[in-house]
Structure 1
Amino acid sequence: MRWLPGLLLSMFLLITAAAPPLPAVVERDFQPQFARYGVQGSFLLYDEPAGQYVAYNLKRCRQRFLPASTFKIPNTLIGLQTGALPDTAEICRWDGVTRSFPQWNQDMTYARALRVSCVPCYQQLARRIGVARYQQWLRRLRYPGMVVTPATLDTFWLGGKSQISQVEQVDFLRRLQAETLPVEKRHQRAVKQLLILRKTPEYTLYGKTGWRFRSARNPDNGWLVGWLERADGRRAFFALNVEPQPGPINDDQFIASRRAVTEAVLRELKWL
């Protein structure tokens, strides 16, 4: 049995060589950027050229939250791929119910519905897609944590048990940007175009916000997920998640904080 230690060592070296190294994580303190806008939370960025993550509040970056309107990204892809949504120029008809967001109270294309986060339009789409196709396509997209049932078909991304982390959001966005999702490339490209928030000669900023409204049991929770492409080809992917600081809540400030904090952090990291 004198050969056994050598055999075990060889097996260990083979296994460790086959296991890909985990990307490095650099932790940074961006609390001043959050505090400036009256919020608290976490920020995760994947620096593609460096092959590493930059994280503020890393433990919270791994915590799962309801996706809210960030789910409109996979929702649109599933709608297009299944044919439930013929194309993003399809008109969503207003149901005549006046809601507190004036921009929702009108007919609009699904391209506009994504940009203004029109919940009623995407509830109509959800009813077209149906539970079985959601369950099939969420598995295929590797978009985790969604719990879809007949009772929650048109609300599962807004309330209930569905949850996703910032780490998982970034992973999904990286595959969308690279067009490696199991969805026709034309659909991936169409959705990517709808996510453009700002385009300049130096960079293009892509993103989608989300807002889980506060209730008696839960505080407000806000998202901005996306990526930034520099003109020289460098890319960084990010996911921000915020909650209001304790005390009185200013809704306008909270809404604005998602993009303001994200851009402040991107400037700090020299991406903007």
Structure 2
Amino acid sequence: MKNFLTFFIIFTFFTNLKADILPNFFKDYETKGVFVLYDGKSFLTNDKKRAEKRFSPASTFKIFNALFALNLGIIQDEKEIFYFYNNEKVFLPSWKNDANLSSALKRSQVPAFKFLARKIGKENMQKNLTLIHYGNQKISQIDSFWLDNSLKINAKEQAILLYKLATTSLPYSLKSQKILKNLLFYKEINGVKIYAKTGFNDEAQIASIVGFYELNQQAFSFGLNLDIKDYKSLAKRDEILEKYLKFLIKMGRV
């Protein structure tokens, strides 16, 4: 533990996005991208320039769409059915279902989150984006702005917001933040529970994943995005994330 803290302090002292410290695992997959790790004070990254370049959040914004709805009382908890499928044409077969917050997040069910956004309304949505400093805070159509390249955010900003969620320090009720945290469970890597949400903007050809984990009683958050040509290549995103997290978790056990 002591060795890890010393190692981590040395790393973070020289970074804060001033240097590209982490290895570039993206080149192993013949693509470009960025991974940012944040501990509440400092950052580690493989590419400081891209870490500050904004892209569409795509489905990673569902985290905050859900949080706003919970905090406003539009939905009470993760079990309440709030979306009812009405036989409209949808992209995935799994979306042809009614949804509560738990199932909607697992399916990344766009129609359900479009419904939530309309219930939140443009005025409340704008207030909340401004309150938490979410990227460029730009809204176009209320039920598509996180998908149509209007709203943009960078990996560093994502990591900051996810750290605040991990530590329940966002300006929202403790209940809302705890519900959402638990719903974001992604997988377990080397005994460490990872909480995350994925996204993919096919127009911009950018895939992303953001989240957090705890190691040695310390919260760490991350933001990752990379260039992806099509859905067939999305496995790269998850494989690259796992390489970074295994690398960092191994560091934490030195």
TM-score range, shorter chain: 0.7 to 0.9
Residue 63 of structure 2: SS of its match in structure 1? helix
TM-score by length of 2: 0.85
Q: Distance in 1 between matches of 2:175 and 2:131?
A: 18
Q: Report deviation, 1:120.
A: 0.6
Query: In the alignment, is the contact (CA less than 8 A) between 1:205 and 1:227 conserved in 2?
Result: yes
Aligned counterparts, 1:153-172, within 5 A = 153-172=142-161
Pair 38,99 (structure 1): closer, same or farther in 2 beyond 3 Å: farther
Q: Deviations over 1:157-178 (max 9, x none)?
A: 0014211011111111111111
Gaps of 5+ in 2: 1-12
1:225 to 210, 213, 233: 210
Percent same amino acid among aligned pairs?
Answer: 30
Q: Name the counterpart of 2:35.
A: 43
Q: Report deviation, 1:55.
A: 0.8
Pair 29,54 (structure 1): closer, same or farther in 2 beyond 3 Å: closer
- The alignment status of 1:28 with 2:21, answered yes or no, reads yes
Report the AA paired with residue 144 of structure 2.
T
Q: Name the counterpart of 1:9.
A: none
Report the AA paired with residue 148 of structure 1.
I
Query: In the alignment, is the contact (CA less than 8 A) between 1:223 and 1:241 conserved in 2?
Result: yes
Pair 181,146 (structure 1): closer, same or farther in 2 beyond 3 Å: same
Q: Distance in 2 between matches of 1:160 and 1:190?
A: 28
Q: Name the counterpart of 1:4.
A: none
Query: In the alignment, is the contact (CA less than 8 A) between 2:22 and 2:44 conserved in 1?
Result: no
Structure of higher CA gyration radius: 1
Q: Report deviation, 1:23.
A: 6.4
Report the AA paired with residue 251 of structure 1.
Y
Query: In the alignment, is the contact (CA less than 8 A) between 1:47 and 1:237 conserved in 2?
Result: yes
Query: In the alignment, is the contact (CA less than 8 A) between 1:207 and 1:226 conserved in 2?
Result: yes
Aligned counterparts, 1:57-206, within 5 A = 57-91=47-81, 92-149=83-140, 152-199=141-188, 202-206=191-195
Gaps of 5+ in 1: 1-20
Query: In the alignment, is the contact (CA less than 8 A) between 1:67 and 1:157 conserved in 2?
Result: yes
Report the AA paired with residue 34 of structure 1.
F
Q: Name the counterpart of 1:12.
A: none
RMSD of Structure 2 on Structure 1 (CA): 2.3
Q: Distance in 1 between matches of 2:225 and 2:100?
A: 28
Q: Name the counterpart of 1:237.
A: 221
Query: In the alignment, is the contact (CA less than 8 A) between 1:43 and 1:56 conserved in 2?
Result: yes
